[in-house]
Copies of this chain bind each other. A is one copy, B any other.
Amino acid sequence: MRGTIIYGPNDIRFEDRPDPVIAEPTDAIVRTVAACVCGSDLWRYRGIAEVTKPTPIGHEYVGIVEAVGSDVTTVKPGQFVVGGFLTSDNTCALCKVGAHANCLHGTGYDGCQAELIRVQNADGTLIATPELPDEAMIPNILALSDVMCTGWHAAVSAGVKPGSTVVVVGDGAVGLSGVLAAAELGAERIIAMSRHEDRQRLALEFGATEIVAERGDDGVERVKELTSGIGADSVLECVGTHDSVEQALRSARPGGMVGWVGVPHVADLPQRHMFWKNVGLRGGPAPVRAYLDHLLDRVWNGHIQPGKVFDLTLPLDQVAEAYAAMDERRSIKTMLIP
């Protein structure tokens, strides 16, 4: 088969690789129907995170089950499936309390921007759709593999509930998914911080009620103007930089909560924006499997269309161009079709 390897900054190659095989009885092999590039993949592409050797890359996918190991009981060859960006057994002590991203037996993938994928912990990771989806449905399901569940995790971690006032920091695919999640959870007002017109438009379509283009002190000031001077009940931090974490903490009202899903590029968190203001912070990698059933239902019945974050589709063998398009912000998120 062919799959994507990152060799270093700006060096993405689509190459022949050995077909993955069932190595454990709990494995499945999935033939990719669609995959995509994650904002977090760009950290390595941009040289911010190190690439020490050529590495298979990608962790978001949907596909058709090709084969399953002898212990797999919940999915079978021929089914259309989606799985999260980390595998989980869905049975360990941490999965039982909904912390699937920290599953005691969880694993990553040996590259999902590929024609075939080995999925470990298949029973605890994959969910099959009721039947084969039509083409228009595929991006919506693909979005559940990471960004929609990650946006949902931000909103849940930030305690969004009916009537909440919410700020979303970050207008990438995760931030936009966070807007959609906040709307689904009943937020009354959703302030999306965005400076890009195409992303602002999608934020509004997903349920944002206001757009704030300012950042830093001006952004905080503008949020306060919109929230009776006190800040938002819940803030979704969907970037991970020092500035965005500060932006998020400072946009929360006293007693408010920041849901934190931007992969952090900060070593420490500024206590001064937290304790005396009673502003909390909670989040991390999303426990996809904890949300997947529920969100797949909402997608399958047409209630939400998180796949709208995909504004460019390319053949999988043009994966290098997909990275370039996202890096240069020509695309919010790019879908890849083998």
Q: Chain A: residues with CB nearer than 8 A to chain B? A: 93-94, 97-99, 101-102, 104, 157, 228-230, 233, 253-255, 257, 260, 263-264, 266-272, 274-285, 287
> In the assembled complex, how far is the CB of residue A195 from the closest CB belonging to chain B, in whole angstroms?
25
By secondary structure, the A interface counts as: mixed
Q: Is the CB of A94 within 8 A of B268?
A: no
Taking a contact as CB atoms closer than 8 A, the residue among B104, B253, B287 that contacts A99 in the complex is: B253
| Number of copies of chain A assembled together | 2
> In the assembled complex, how far is the CB of residue A245 from the closest CB belonging to chain B, in whole angstroms?
9
Q: Please report the C-alpha to C-alpha distance between residue A281 and residue B273 in the assembled complex, in whole angstroms.
A: 13
Q: Please report the C-alpha to C-alpha distance between residue A101 and residue B93 in the assembled complex, in whole angstroms.
A: 37
Known: A97-B233, A255-B94. A275 touches B283 (CB 8 A): yes
> In the assembled complex, how far is the CB of residue A227 from the closest CB belonging to chain B, in whole angstroms?
9
Q: Is the CB of A253 within 8 A of B287?
A: no
Q: Is the CB of B282 within 8 A of A282?
A: yes
User: Which residue of chain B lies nearest to A228 when distances are taken between CB atoms in the complex?
Assistant: B93
User: Which residue of chain B lies nearest to A233 when distances are taken between CB atoms in the complex?
Assistant: B97
Q: Is the CB of A99 within 8 A of B255?
A: yes
> In the assembled complex, how far is the CB of residue A155 from the closest CB belonging to chain B, in whole angstroms?
14
Q: Is the CB of A275 within 8 A of B280?
A: no
Q: Please report the C-alpha to C-alpha distance between residue A254 and residue B276 in the assembled complex, in whole angstroms.
A: 25
